Amino acid sequence: MALLKSNKAILCLGNISPALGALSSRNSSWWAGVQMGPPDPILGVTEAFKRDTNPKKMNLGVGAYRDDMGKPFVLSCVRKAEALIAAKQMDKEYLPIGGLAEFSKACAQLALGADSEVLKSGRSITVQTISGTGSLRIGGNYLARFHTGPHDVYLPKPSWGNHTPIFRDAGMQLKAYRYYDPSTCGFDFKGALDDISKIPEKSVILLHACAHNPTGVDPRPEQWKEIADIVKKRNLLVFFDMAYQGFASGDIDRDAWAVRHFIETGHNIVLSQSFAKNMGLYGERVGGFTVVCSDAEEAKRVESQLKILIRPIYSNPPMNGARIASTILSTPDLRSLWLEEVHGMANRIIKMREQLVTGLKQQGSSHNWQHVIDQIGMFCFTGLKPEQVERLTKEFSVYMTKDGRISMAGVTSGNVGYLAEGIHAVTK
């Protein structure tokens, strides 16, 4: 009897043991401590927009250009460049670590100007990167490893949301300087100068070259000159982010004015570029990272270290987008067509700004909306408060981020009147 009881006990334990084992296995999952991350605010806007059944709904959250029918737009120069590339039946071999040489050369010339002393003297290095985000991250990694000053990056307040995690994850510390004035929906010039004058020497300051994201507020040339002077007095390393050259004003030289002025006044800058917006190459991930050095020998040393940084991250960049961009920039007919098309995109955005303000006046709005016209580029900081944004979404199905930023690319001649009606309703 004792033996039977003992066998039953063993049998019972044997039946339970696998379940206990499975439970133990589940409890000891490698990733049990991983918490759910917060949703991306812009992607969240898009998801809510998709669920909305209102036929008049508008998605003003995503930063991608749309034509006046609200459709994605592929530039004619891009299609023609693709045809030229396809006809050559080129191989698909790896690019060098620094990318396509013809692209890097054209990328630097576009930013600095073909007659730039920096390019003629060979005292800069440009590497192809995975669009603007990849360029910023390579730049952040480079600063974290080689910058001899404080590892602090001063961002304008506010700045593009991805700047913070890019530099933070690269090992830099994030700080801020005043930039946007909510009371005027414009540039806080006095506040910016005051804050910049107190930044510790040899720190890094990030500047948006044109079409500041998210505010659309840019300094005027005379203000840029004062910023350049005070930055030089403080001996700060300037990191320019230029994601909208040509797309802001429609003029590639005007949009690169600040970058070129800083170099001409003795700043050895670092620069990120993207071809997502100005060539519509969003999914091709085309960008460049440039370091302006003291001389050609220093540039060679910097290039060697950039390659060492890039190699363990992605080995080498993708070729297709770089081939498209370099073909456009180096083929006179395609370059002329591109300049015409990028000017057209910029003008459509400017026109939508003007029509929105006209529509608000026609609705009877008594507010001053001049800032909508004065701001530039894809984004507009409307000045709407979070509760007004919430009403606009609930009552009119107009989707945007809570800070009141709208992508002007989502505004068309067909819906600008509806948008004006909605904004007036929540602000009157």
pLDDT digits (tens, 9 = 90+) for 371-400: 999 999 999 999 999 999 999 999 999 999
Question: Is the bond preceding 96 in cis, omega lying within 30 degrees of 0?
Answer: no
Q: What angle do CA 410, 415, 420 make, to 5 degrees?
A: 100
- Say what the pLDDT of residue 2 is: 47
Chunked into runs of 10 residues, the chain (428 residues) has average pLDDT values of 45 49 64 90 84 94 90 96 97 97 97 96 98 98 97 97 96 97 95 98 98 95 98 98 96 97 98 97 97 98 98 97 98 98 96 97 95 95 95 95 92 96 95
CB-based contacts of 241, cutoff 8 Å, min separation 6: 132, 136, 160, 163, 206, 207, 208, 209, 272
In angstroms, what is the C-alpha Rg of the chain? 26
Average pLDDT, the chain: 93
First to last CA, the chain: 89
Comparing C-alpha atoms, which of 247, 259, 171 is closest to residue 208? Answer: 259
Residue 31 a catalytic site member: no
Are 132 and 274 a contacting pair, CB within 8 Å? yes
- Per the residue annotation, which of 160, 224, 338, 369 is the catalytic one? 160
CB atoms within 10 A of CB 315: 10
For residue 53, the SS3 value is: coil
> What is residue 11's predicted lDDT score, i.e. its pLDDT?
43
Any catalytic annotation for residue 338? no
Residue type present at position 18: P
Of the listed 80, 241, 338, 369, which one is catalytic? 241
Alpha carbons 397 and 165: distance in angstroms, whole number: 30
**From 195, 218, 255, 277, active-site residue:** 277
Of 69, 122, 132, nearest to 281 (Cα)?
132
Quote the CA–CA distance of 379 and 322 in Å, as a whole number: 26
85: Cβ contacts below 8 Å, ≥ 6 apart: 320, 323, 324, 327
Closest CA to 234 of 262, 257, 204, 268: 204
Contact yes or no for 385/405 (Cβ under 8 A) = no
The answer to whether residue 57 is catalytic is no
Give residues with Cβ within 8 angstroms of 291, minimum separation 6: 124, 125, 142, 270, 271, 299, 302, 306
Residues near 165 by beta carbon (within 8 Å), at least 6 away in sequence: none
**DSSP assignments along 374-387, one per residue:** HS-SSEEE----HH
Residues 6+ apart with CB under 8 A from 9: none
Of 267, 249, 173, 175, give the one whose Cα is nearest residue 212. 249
C-alpha angle with apex 273: 268 to 275, nearest 5 degrees? 160
Q: What is the CB neighbour count within 10 angstroms for residue 226? A: 15
Gap between the Cα atoms of 417 and 130, Å rounded: 38
* Amino acid 299: pLDDT: 98
Q: Which residues contact 315 (CB under 8 A, 6 or more apart)?
A: 94, 97
Q: How far is the CA of 74 from the CAs of 230, 266, 287, 335, 399, in angstroms?
A: 41, 39, 18, 15, 24
Q: State the DSSP H helix or E strand holding residue 152, giving kind and residue range, or none if neither.
A: strand 152-157
| Strand 270-274 versus strand 237-242 pairing type | parallel
Contacts with 40 (C-beta within 8 Å, 6 or more apart), sequence order: none
**The two structure tokens encoding residue 339:** 């300049």
Q: Cα 195–197–201 angle (5° rounding)?
A: 115
